[in-house]
Structure formats: C-alpha cells, structure tokens
Amino acid sequence: MENTEVKSYNFSNIKFSDLEEIVDIKVVDNDAKFDEWFETTYDLDDIEILFFKNLIQKNKTRIAFYMEENLRAKFIIPILNLVDFVFESVSDWYDTALSGTLNGVEFKGFTDFMVASGTENPRKPYFFIQEFKPSIPDKDPRVQLLAELLVATEKNKTAIMRGGYIVGRIWFFVILEKLAENKFEYVISKSFDSLDLEDLKQIYIILQAVKHKYCQD
C-alpha cells in the first residue's frame, strides 16, 4: 500500500536545506528593496528619545548575558509596546500557533512575535519577529523567520511578506518575495545595533512604518 503520509516540519527545527527541498528560494543583494520601508518619515518626540536612552543605559552592561526570556521581557517587549501594534482590528501576538501548507508540506509551530488582524484570535499575519535569543544562538532565527514568511505568503495569497530577526543586541530585517509558483527570493537588511541610540531610533521608525504602512488588508 502506498505511503500517503504528509511530510511536516516544525518552525523550531527547520533547516535552510529543508526549505530548499520544498521551494526554490535564494538570497539576493538588493538594498533598494528596503527603500520604501526604511525611508518612511516619522518624527520622534522627546519622550520617545528619553525612553531609548534609559533603555540602553539600563541594559547595556547586561544584555550580553540575558537568556531568552530576560532579553524579551527587559529589552524587546518595551520597544514593541512603545510602537503599540494594538489598534483598530490589529493585535500583536506572542508565542502564538501558526500552521500552513507549502507545496504539499505541512509547517507548524509557535511564532515569537507576530502582528496580525484579529482581536481574539490571529487571522491574517502581517509581520513577524524571530527570535528573542541571547548573543550566541543555538539555532538560526533567519531560517525560522523565512519558514514563517513562506507560510504567510500562502495563507495571505500575497507576494511579499516582511519580518525581522534578533540575535542578542543585533536586529536584521527581511523582505521575502514570491516571484512565481514555488519560486522565492529574499533580502536581508544591514544590521542594526540596538544599544546604539541612532540605530535604536531607526529600528523604532522601521517598526512604526510596519504599523502604518503594512498592517492593513
């Protein structure tokens, strides 16, 4: 009897080689892809700037030693709360289940952070951040993020998804684009050091751009 068992992966243990077996995916060097996103105008006020200065001061000598939950609670969540992704019919979600099928392969797991439509349950995902890890991660957050973005393109029936991943104090942003059936490419931004005030301000503006430009149907 033919084995009809569906192959499945968990986001937490997916490898890039696994993704390459499922879809045609490659990284490209094209910083211009970020222009519309990163060049969004946003004027920070004095309260926001003081908040960032205090956040850096409190954490700069400790962040390298934080385990995942401390990094999340003490440094990442305060930034995300200041952006405030809870508005209209949009909410932010932590450790939330996500599943979907990509080219006949099932994916499932829990997202570290997701912005999606819905107030009681997430419906349409708009943006992901993966994942709140200490400076020397045991897994590659880039690959986990890509898997989530791939699933989201299929769920949303959209060609472009955005996200970010964090390794200790360093942030990266990612754009994934679907070029054709089962054919994708992605770009990774330059790194942003969240303990540098100017970089942290830019991270915040980039997140505000997500809120105001891309969290809508």
Asked whether 97 and 121 are in contact (CB, 8 A), the reply is no
Q: Contact, 174 vs 187, CB < 8 A?
A: yes
In three-state form (DSSP H/G/I as H, E/B as E, the rest C), the secondary structure along 60-114 is CCCHHHCCHHHHHHHHHHHHHHHHCCCECCEEEEEEEEEEEEECCEEEEEEEEEE
- Residue 1: inside a domain: no
Give the separation between CA 52 and CA 64, rounded to whole angstroms: 18
Spatial distance between the Cα atoms of 7 and 162, rounded to a whole number of angstroms: 26
Residue 150 inside a domain? The answer is yes
Q: Domain for residue 111, yes or no?
A: yes
On whether residue 129 sits in a domain, the answer given is yes
Q: Is residue 3 in a domain?
A: no
Look at residue 43 and give its three-state secondary structure.
coil
In a domain, 2, yes or no: no
Q: Which residues of the chain have pLDDT under 50?
A: 1, 135-136
Number of other CB atoms surrounding residue 15 within 10 Å: 13
Could you give the number of structural domains in the chain?
Answer: 1
Tell me whether residue 140 is in a domain: yes
Instruction: Write down the pLDDT at residue 140.
Output: 82
- pLDDT, residue 1, reads 44
